[in-house]
Amino acid sequence: MHLTLITTGGTIEKTYDEASGSLSNRFSIVRRMLARLRLVDTHISTIELLSKDSLDMTDEDRDAIAGAVRAAGGSPDLATDADAIVILHGTDTLSLTGEHILKDIPNPRVPIVLTGAMRPFEMKRSDALQNLNEAIFAAGLLPPGVYCVAHGRALAFPGVKKDREKGTFVKG
């Protein structure tokens, strides 16, 4: 499988800054995450598009993400060798971006999977590596469409929402 992985920042990629004592999106750490996974017969091309907290994302950022998805081969009018696309995204506005992509590319050529984490990769009890692994796996099995994959579930857009009380994504 040839997968294109687009990073946009979010909690999944936040790192601890000792100088300020805060977590922030300073740069992509996806290569460190991928190094922890055993991905046999999976070739991953990485596009480090943004490094932002999703609460700071603008409509222009969502346009850039949709444009990167289109360029990576998610659109039926532009075929590349990508079999699937995974997007690392902050969970707070992941639903907005998923809906934006679906509106921009209503009939994707490949599965487009958005995932994120409720706790950063660098923290104990993080769901980051699990969600990344699940997203890559699901991207190889799902039919073309736009999905959120996290916590053992694949939910198709439209209608995916973050449930803060449950700490996961739900339909409806």
End-to-end CA separation in angstroms for the chain: 31
Marked catalytic residue, from 7, 8, 11, 97: 11
Q: Name the amino acid, one letter, at 6.
A: I
Q: What would the two tokens of residue 88 be? A: 């690392």
Kind and range of the H or E element at 131? helix 128-139
Does residue 11 carry a catalytic annotation?
Answer: yes
User: How far from the centroid of its chain's Cα atoms is residue 102's Cα?
Assistant: 14
The sign of the dihedral angle between the CA atoms of 47, 44, 77, 138 is: negative
Active site residues: 11
